[in-house]
Homo-oligomer: A and B are copies of this chain.
């Protein structure tokens, strides 16, 4: 599948690398076409890997991934352009961590709204699916790095778009029974609000390599 990834940070690169390994064609997008890190990544990862602007990546992908910093996501999507986004499926893995008042970060959007909902409201035709934002990117891309089962949460308003994202998650190694469909995009409030606990846990456990499991 042709996948456009917005964001060339650690999360974007980790997901892009794994998706190229799985034989997808991936174009990473950033603010400028000559982003040195992204250019180097594309050169290093063979024919299936390419790089361009946010607009290039959004126009290229059949499936899009928002891996930008949550506080910059709406700006990145604006640069991508409504026409390039169209009625595509966007997997949103971002969190609005706000470090402007120091550490630990607060959330820039929270409680009565979420980034997932903001994106969906701004681009009503886009099919936003929030997923994977509750864990470190290494585990996003390769859940088997932890032994035993653990969960990924998925939410969005469009059933077909969720199916497409869940299929992608299964290809990354997520067993179907570990994928929890939380319903509509409003559930993004809950998954984004997991971040402060996640950050505290990373501190006390001394590693980002952990994840949440729902025990029933």
Residues of A within 8 A of B (CB): 101, 104, 106-107, 110-112, 146, 148-150, 153, 180-183, 186-187, 189-191, 193-194, 196-201, 203-205, 207, 209-216
Q: Which 5 A-B pairs have the closest CB atoms?
A: A190-B197, A190-B196, A150-B215, A193-B193, A213-B213
- A213 and B149 CA atoms in complex are apart in Å by 11
Report how many copies the assembly holds: 2
CA distance A183 to B207 in the complex (A): 16
From B110, B148, B180, contact of A201 by CB (8 A): B180
Query: In the docked arrangement, what's the CA distance between A205 and B216, Å?
Result: 9
- Given the complex, which residues of B lie within 8 Å of A210, measured CB to CB? 214-216
Contacts of A187 in B (CB 8 A): 197, 200
- Chain B neighbourhood of A146, CB < 8 A: 215-216
Rounded to whole Å, the gap between the CB of A105 and the closest CB of chain B is: 10
Chain B residues, CB < 8 A from A182: 197, 200-201, 204
Q: Is the interface of A mostly helix, strand, loop or mixed?
A: mixed
CB distance from A111 to the nearest CB of B (A): 5
Given the known A-B contacts A106-B112, A213-B215, are A204 and B189 also in contact in the complex, defined by CB atoms under 8 Å?
A: no
Q: CA of A201 to CA of B148 in the docked complex: distance in angstroms?
A: 21
CB atoms of B209 and A212 under 8 A apart: no
- Tell me whether B204 and A180 are in contact (CB under 8 A): yes
Residues of B within 8 A of A190 (CB): 196-201
- When C-beta atoms are compared, the residue in chain B nearest to A112 turns out to be B106
Q: Distance (Å) between the CB of A208 and the closest chain B CB?
A: 11
Among A107, A182, A199, A214, the one with the most B-chain Cβ atoms within 10 Å of its Cβ is A214
Bound complex: CA A84 to CA B77 (Å): 56
Chain B residues whose C-beta falls within 8 Å of the C-beta of A148 in the assembled complex: 215
Complex: how many Å from CA A186 to CA B102?
Answer: 14
Is B200 within 8 A of A211, CB to CB? no
In the complex, residue of chain B having the shortest beta-carbon distance to the beta carbon of A104: B186
Which residues from chain B contact A191 at a C-beta distance below 8 Å? 197
